[in-house]
Structure 1
Amino acid sequence: MCLCLTLFLLGFFSYLRNKRQYTEGTSPAHTSAVRMGGAVSAGEDNDDLIDNLKEAYYIRSDLVEKAFRAIDRADYYLDEYRDNAYKDLAWRHGNIHLSAPCIYSEVMEALDLHPGLSFLNLGSGTGYLSTMVGLILGPFGVNHGIELHADVIDYAYQKLDSFIKTSDSFDKFEFCEPSFVAGNCLDIPLESRQYDRVYCGAGVQKEHEDYMRNLLKIGGILVMPLEEKLTKITRTGTSTWETKKILSVSFAPLVLPKHGPNGKPKIVPLPRYEVRTLQELARICIRHTLRVTTDEKESQSRGRGSSFSVGRGLAVAGLHKYGPRFKRRRVHRRQCSIQVVATLDGNNNQGGRAVDEEEATAGERERRRQTRGTRRAAKTAEEEQEAAAAEDEVVDEEEEQEEEEEKETGELLRPQPAVNLLRERILGLPLPEPLKMYLLFYREK
């Protein structure tokens, strides 16, 4: 009897522990995997990776999803390591380091970002996270980072410049460009300004917890690995805090600062906060006006939401591989057929309703009229389906031909990228060339 009671109590407490782990953001089935990443299946491309993160409930909000889809994780890898970019694993090469995607997604969700906030990234690394944050903060936010290694800061600025100049995603967002400084984050003066959001990308020991907390404004959020747990700390008052453990993680510990020749610690100033110039405000206003006009035009032509949605839909199904331009047409036709059938069903249901005796004659005439219309619509739907089926056959033949060409040449056939309407409109403005380049954020070194 005692043995049964003991086993029951052990099972009950195990259930409570597992339930608590699940509510903190990780299921007991992959708690150990989360420590080093690898909790999410690998994808073929960035969209596949984001789909897997959503399915595993690491990405939970639309805003975070759009930021993740806008930036290809592989762009922050060295070329020879790009094949590993879509695995849920951390990557390190020399001083360059990226955390696992599941960690970054939990961090982005925990920070609860919105436009206009100030953000400080301690251990900013490649700038991957800071750039995603900048897409949400908008042009009137503050986006600062501190990185220990100067060569990593150079690498981060190269990636940032490439994103601004070459990525179409950049033109779909109002961007808060990050600024980085070299130094040890533990050398920040205590009297420095505070931020709305702070993230630390290195393991923090208990003795440095108060130091990190003091970087926050009241109402601010700090996310950091604290004693092997990714922890969210919210400052609710001058000396009051709320703490929540998110999931188990394993981070390299903070590097302790080195004293100068005189025995005193070095002082690392934070990036300067500069008020926007009138020239920058004009650029923001012009780009916003052109973007809104472009989005409205695209929305009207497509009959759906704005172009702000990034990289969703066909790429998720893997249709990006052999020519989505054909499959988009086929999917669209099928959707049209479905809408026609749904309309027919609605008409049939409406025609089958009971009518009052006084309106029986009128109802009968209406049913006959609907029946005739239904037959005509059904005939049209059949013709539409036959046309779609014929087109499907043509598309299948074209895809088979493309696959054969790919096997022969060994090259992956990809469609032409969509035209960036915002950039096309800027280039079409009657302005001097240097001003067009300024509006496009192109900068002469």
Structure 2
Amino acid sequence: MTFDVATAARALLERNWREGEYRGRRYAFSVPSPRSYPWQWYWDSGFHAIVRRRFDPAGARAELETLLNAADPDGFIGHTVLWGHPLDLQRAVRYNIASRADLMTRTIQPPLLAWAWAWAVGDPRGADPRIDAHHAWLREHRALTDDGLLWLIQPDESGMDASPKFDHVWGRLAQGRPSFPLLIARNRRLGFDARRIRAAGRPVVCEVLTNVVWSLSERALGRPSPTPALIERLWDGRAGRFADDVVNAVRPTPPAARPRTWDTLAPLALPDLPDAIAQRLVDEVLRAPGFADGVPLPAVALDDPTHTSRETWWGRHRHWRGPSWVNSAWLVSLGLRRLGLDAEADALAARLAAVVAREGFREYYESRLGYGMGARDFGWSTLLWELLDPVDPPRAS
């Protein structure tokens, strides 16, 4: 039987749809996965809206407006919005909340909202003042340096959670490690405030993927592109890779000695990335066996010592330590098509489609054999539709 990705993707997002009213605020969105992720996740909703626009433009807008409905008056929007019911005690230990009464967690995710709005709704400039307020909060509270790039206080703010690239930053407190709740507790005591955390001598990270998404969203709002600053701070021309800038790392490690993780390829999604850098990423990283031989796109190069797809004794430490993710493949495919490498993007999409047709829309996939892993009925894996039926990204004016 032929796999009809459009029909399957639409059915999944519809099954995962939730709407109602909570604490006097309206919500309408797709949960990432009904059992594992029963609330609204910030950047997941951006990906959901990008796909949903294909069959339900009003619903795509409602999903993004639901994030805005959760916003604090100062523009802050948290990583997770707890629509419908608060956290249970077990999750409260692992989630970045100040109190179980909070509507949102107090950390961020890659700020996809404005760029997703450009895809799903239209020009975000002047569309809703809450979008501008959100970006103003990010600039005020997370742009810790004069170049305007954002800095993170925890691994999960990057969306890459337990990636091995954070091991040298937080050590035993890195996400996925047994002591990660101690990092949450420490940051809670410091009010989840990036400047206070840095002043206390704790790590903060200018992270690649987050600033790629930040650049896309700033451009969508007609603001000056952060891409030149991203290149200046994070591009290592000698190694031919992008790498995070870190302050107060537990185990300072030079970029060339860090794990080879997929996010070095994330800048391919930037429409203003110089072609020379983009082509070098494709030639030297994407086409190298560590990435080219895996299910698109391994979170860690297959031949990197930190790569693993196996469960470990401390639980789900494997996610972002090897398995393949659909959103990563989609972002990279945008760069391939911008470079005119459509045949290569088509081949990437076809390889991934064969895996999803067999395994369903899973949270991630084992990067050699392609078996499904993590949550089932996972929303952003419907981005496969975008991979197979591409359209041009929205253009910044």
TM range (shorter): under 0.3
**Higher relative contact order structure (alpha carbons within 8 Å, sequence separation ≥ 6):** 2
Higher helix share: 1
Task: Output the TM-score relative to the length of structure 2.
Answer: 0.25
Query: Hey, which of these two has a bigger chunk of strand by percent?
Result: 1
Greater Cα radius of gyration, structure 1 or 2: 1
Task: State the TM-score, normalizing by the size of structure 1.
Answer: 0.23
